[in-house]
């Protein structure tokens, strides 16, 4: 069974996001071994300057890289990544298992995104959309798309 790690900057504080994430984590139990790791968000002033943002991204990036499992295929969720539909994402995951990967890690940055260091380390960059979404919603979207991908691969009825 594929191991999937989801590494996120920030916690899900709002009940609605937590409940949605919990539902998809429960659904994923039959398809993969899922681990969700929440890392602290680097605190910035109300109006950070570019240097402060860059420093925050680097510190968050260092904490992400420190938590990366060894021998894992890394997918960075970032706006400049490749867009794909759900069947293509399902194929990407299936292809990883065929290639011999037993572990896939998805990373979601904080409000200002991911550090360039993390993006360079990624094996694949994925974008859900050219639109901007709250990073907490992106976590729910990632879990839902993982579930959809596994359902597609298993021939399930969820994806229509």
For residue 135, what pLDDT is reported? 82
113 band by pLDDT with thresholds 50, 70 and 90: very high
Q: Which of 146, 137, 147 is nearest to 12 (CA)?
A: 137
pLDDT in tens, 50-76: 999 999 999 999 999 999 998 899 999
pLDDT in tens, 3-13: 999 999 999 98
For residue 160, what pLDDT is reported? 60
Phi-psi region of 76 (alpha: psi -120 to 50; beta: other; left: phi over 0): beta
For residue 90, what pLDDT is reported? 96
159 band by pLDDT with thresholds 50, 70 and 90: low
pTM: 0.93
For residue 70, what pLDDT is reported? 87
- Domain 3-153 -> CATH class: alpha beta
């Amino acid at each position: 069974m594929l191991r999937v790690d989801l590494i996120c900057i920030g916690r899900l504080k709002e009940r609605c996001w937590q409940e949605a994430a919990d539902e998809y984590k429960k659904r994923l139990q039959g398809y993969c071994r899922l681990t969700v790791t929440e890392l602290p968000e680097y605190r910035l002033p109300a109006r950070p300057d570019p240097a402060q943002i860059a420093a925050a991204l680097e510190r968050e990036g260092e904490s992400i890289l420190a938590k990366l499992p060894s021998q894992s295929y890394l997918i960075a969720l970032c706006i400049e990544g490749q867009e794909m539909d759900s069947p293509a994402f399902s194929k990407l995951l299936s292809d990883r298992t065929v290639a011999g990967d037993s572990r896939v890690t998805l990373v979601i940055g904080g409000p200002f995104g991911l550090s360039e260091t993390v993006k360079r380390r990624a094996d694949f960059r994925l974008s859900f959309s050219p639109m901007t979404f709250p990073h907490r919603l992106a976590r729910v979207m990632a879990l839902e798309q993982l579930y959809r991908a596994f359902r597609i691969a298993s021939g399930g009825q969820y994806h229509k």
